[in-house]
Structure 1
Amino acid sequence: MAFSYHLTQLEMNKGKPNVSDGQWEQTLALRNQLINEEKTNRELQKELSQKQDLVFKNEKDLSKEAEVYENLAEDAEKFRMFLGKVKVKGKGVKITLTDGAYDPKEDNINNYLVHEHHVFKVVNELYISGAAAVAINGQRLTSHSYIICNGPVITVDGIEHPAPFIISAIGDPEVLSSSINLIGGVKDQLVNDNIIFTLEKDNEIVLDPILGS
């Protein structure tokens, strides 16, 4: 037993530096403390990484929510504009429809007047071509607007307007004018009906909101 114990002590002493038992125990304690601290640091790093991932996810979610709210705000603004609730300004076109020249002794006046169906053709073509807002002689139109012809005047939502009729539309001037000027399109049809037709592009058209809106 004594011989065995002596060998064991020799083996243990081989793994220890030339220090006292007290110093060795202190070194082991410090080493174990360092190992525990490193383990704790790794756990804290892992926890920090998880929290950073959570923060990143929350930021993405907030960003998506902000984008949704922004889109909703844009949609609401477009809806208000479509309803004529807000004043709008932008590029677009102005189309003027004027009664044609005629000889009252020989011609039927009705064949030279601008009628509601002429105005309808222009307005519908503008909306189809992407116009964001349209007005007749400065009066905004909505999806519920109605136009009635009464001799030399037309009535828009109960308000009478004499000729000439200026139809203003906000939208891409190139697209709107190209659509109106198509061969065999709206312009040609109106000219064939003896209507004097003019179109001009405008870099700044201002349309007021509907009265009482």
Structure 2
Amino acid sequence: MHVKGKHVILSLVLFVFGYLIAVSYEQAQYLLEENEIAEDWDRAFHYRQQLIDFEERNNELEREINSLRLDLLETEAQLSEEQATLMSAVELKRKLQAYVGELAINGPGVFVTLKDQEYVPSDANVNDYIVHDRHVQLVINELLSAGAEAIQVNGQRIFQDSHVYCVGPVITVDGTSYPAPFTIEVIGDSDVLLAALTLEQGVIDQLVNERIEVEYGTKQIEMEPK
């Protein structure tokens, strides 16, 4: 069988055409892959940039939170200091009010009751057997020296500028008169106050030697405001 020339040429043309198609297909596939790689890279770059932006924003927010936390701690410390100052001022005000008699107070303490002598000899001077202002003042001074925090006589508060004096058988405290017996009540350390009163040759012994009947002891004491 003889192959004609035109058959050879046709075969060659078909071969070349097929080759070009194959090359074109491979080139198209390559370009498509390159395009996909480029798109993937752009997408990855975009996401990476977003991640970086998010991290920077997160760091910025964290710095703001830390700054606000420090401000909050400083504010809390300042408020705590102001509260402590306020509480101290309130406590000082309360103590001053109690000291000047504007508030009712109560606490442990002692009492001393002074009574006129019941038996007075017929030939004796009755003034030598009754309680005088100096006896009351003697007890008050001794208790103040022992650390008395507050004092009252027959329920009337005694202050630094108070005056106690006697007019006959009665004692006047800041203008108010009281008959015997006279009860002196003191708020303070009961043990210390009682020890001061009962010293040998102390106040109690002196009062007894001057024929004054004395009763004393410890008790819970309440004092009304003046």
Give runs of aligned pairs for residues 54-69 of structure 1, distance below 5 A.
Answer: 54-69=71-86
Superposition TM-score, scaled by structure 2 size: 0.74
Amino acid at match of 1:78: K
C-alpha distance after superposition, 1:154-180 (max 9, x if no partner)? 110011111111011223322322232
Secondary structure of 1:114's aligned partner: coil
Which of 26, 31, 35 does residue 52 from structure 2 map onto? Answer: 35
Aligned mates of 1:91, 1:142 — CA distance in 2: 19
Once the two structures are superposed, what CA deviation does each residue of 1:44-77 show, in whole Å capped at 9, x if it has no partner? 2122122112112211211221222222222222
**2:93 alignment partner, SS class:** helix
Identical amino acids, percent of aligned pairs:
39
Rounded Cα–Cα distance in structure 2 between residues aligned with 1:188 and 1:141: 24
2:168 is aligned to 151
RMSD of Structure 2 on Structure 1 (CA): 2.2
Please name the residue that 2:135 is paired with. Answer: 118
**Deviant stretches of 4+, over 4 Å:** none
**AA matched with 1:91:** P
> What is the CA distance between 1:206 and its match in structure 2?
2.2
Matched residues in 2 for 1:119 and 1:127: separation? 12
| Equivalent residues of 1:99, 1:195 under 8 A apart | yes
Bigger Cα displacement from structure 2, 46-55 vs 29-38:
29-38
Tell me whether 1:171 sits opposite 2:188 in the alignment: yes
1:119-134 counterparts in 2 under 5 A? Answer: 119-134=136-151
Query: Deviation at 1:38?
Result: 1.6
Cα distance, 1:152–1:59 mapped onto 2, change above 3 Å: same
Letter in 1 for 2:90: A
Residue 101 (structure 1) shift:
5.0
3-state DSSP of counterpart to 2:194: helix
Q: 1:181 to 1:27 in 2, by over 3 A?
A: farther
Q: Which SS does the other structure have where 1:86 is aligned?
A: coil
Which letter maps to 2:78? Answer: D
Which residue number in structure 2 is paired with residue 7 of structure 1? none
- Aligned to 1:36, what secondary structure does the other structure show? helix
Change (3 A) 1:48 1:170: same
Change (3 A) 1:30 1:159: same
Residues 130 and 60 (structure 1 numbering): CA distance in 2 closer, same or farther, change over 3 Å? farther
For residues 194 and 120 of structure 1, the distance between their equivalents in structure 2, rounded to whole angstroms, comes to 16
Return 5+ residue gaps in structure 2 as ranges. 1-35
Measured in 1, the distance between the counterparts of 2:202 and 2:51 equals 86
Q: Is the 8 A contact 1:97 1:163 kept in 2?
A: yes
- Alignment-mate amino acid for residue 139 of structure 2: V
SS of equivalent residue, structure 1 residue 85? coil
Larger Rg: 2
2:39 to 12, 19, 22: 22
Q: Determine the C-alpha separation between the residues in 2 that align with 1:125 and 1:25.
A: 98
Match of 2:31 in 1: none
Tell me what 1:208 maps to.
224
